[in-house]
Amino acid sequence: MIGIFREEIFSPNRVEDDAAILRLTAEAVRRRGYDVELTHPQDLLADTRPRMAFAMCEGLDSLKLLEAWESKGHTVVNSPRAVRNCYRHRMLTLLNHGTLPLPKTLLIQTSESVNGQFNLGKGVWVKRGDVHSTQQGDVELIYDRPALERTLESMRSRWVEQAVLQEHVHGDLIKFYGVLPRRWFRYFYHKPEETIGLPFSPEEIRATAELAASRLGLQVYGGDIVVTRDAHYLIDINSWPSFAVCREEAAEQIADYLVRRHPKWEPAAAAQWRSA
């Protein structure tokens, strides 16, 4: 089994956190008797034939290679298709069907002139339209037109062709983490000290998170929900987060899922014992 780290460019300010969950997952799988090799995306080879891969990588070159592995019958978690679906321009199409509680969100070209679609005074998030973030300026909260124009110009200068505009929702920000189809789920206030304490239904936020993950094809996922006085809104969802404060528990749950995906496999320790 092969575990693949996330590219550093897609882990701004959290390279070690992202690496930690992958290492913990690998250790948990090894304790279950399976061999695991960890590698970086730049070290992947097209002729590698893993029996199974669990991957945090997000770059298009890496995903193409993983798709080639899948086409030959190898299992990859999360699937490269699901990771591609987390690119914001694809995510918006897949999630924006009226059954998920999303804030007002618009996909635009960074060269477009935006007039009147949002009340800028209440705040609008400007997010690059492909990957989640690679550097400062990829996700910005703005409150006026000059700031909007500066942010879009900055993205254009970096060859980011699309951006997502999303209205700012004021409320309590909740981070969530899950593994499907095992239905393991955890949630936490992002900044407990800043929480208003608005009431919400844990069952409803879980249902929203799991429906979104299912639509994207994710098994290992995380994201953000904002709770307001009368509703909750899905703000973001992504493939294989770092799992923050529940990392050890998450690693065990992910390891169980990986092992169950192929129960016909024999742990390396058992195979060695029988051949002795």
Domain residue ranges in the chain: 2-78+250-270, 104-167, 172-239
Distances (CA, A) of 252 to 55, 259, 261: 16, 11, 14
User: Residues near 271 by Cβ (< 8 Å), separated by ≥ 6?
Assistant: none
Q: What is the CATH number of domain 172-239?
A: 3.30.470.20
User: Residues near 208 by Cβ (< 8 Å), separated by ≥ 6?
Assistant: 100, 101, 225, 232, 234
Where would I find the beta strands (DSSP E) of 162-245? 162-167, 172-179, 184-189, 220-227, 232-239
In the CATH hierarchy, which fold is given to the domain comprising 104-167?
Answer: Dna Ligase; domain 1 (3.30.1490)
Q: Is the pLDDT of residue 276 over 80?
A: no
User: Residues near 13 by Cβ (< 8 Å), separated by ≥ 6?
Assistant: none
Residue with tokens 């996909």: 107
Q: Is the pLDDT of residue 87 over 90?
A: yes
Report yes or no: 131 and 10 within 8 Å, Cβ to Cβ: yes
Report yes or no: 37 and 2 within 8 Å, Cβ to Cβ: yes
Residue with tokens 């955890």: 186
Q: What is the mean pLDDT of the chain?
A: 90
d(CA 97, CA 210): 15
User: Residues near 8 by Cβ (< 8 Å), separated by ≥ 6?
Assistant: 15
HSE on the CB side for 135, CA within 13 Å?
6
pLDDT tens, position by position, 120-147? 999 999 999 998 888 888 999 999 999 9
Q: Which helix (H) or strand (E) holds 27?
A: helix 15-31
- Kindly report the backbone phi and psi dihedral angles of residue 81, in degrees, each rounded to the nearest multiple of 5, phi listed first: -65, -45
> How much of the chain exceeds pLDDT 70, in percent?
95
- Kindly report the backbone phi and psi dihedral angles of residue 31, in degrees, each rounded to the nearest multiple of 5, phi listed first: -65, -20
Report yes or no: 50 and 57 within 8 Å, Cβ to Cβ: no
Structure tokens at 115: 């007039």
d(CA 172, CA 22): 29
Q: What is the CATH number of domain 2-78+250-270?
A: 3.40.50.20
Q: Would you say the pTM of this structure is higher than 0.85?
A: yes
Structure confidence at residue 175 as a pLDDT band (50, 70, 90): very high
The better pLDDT of the pair 117, 223 is held by 223
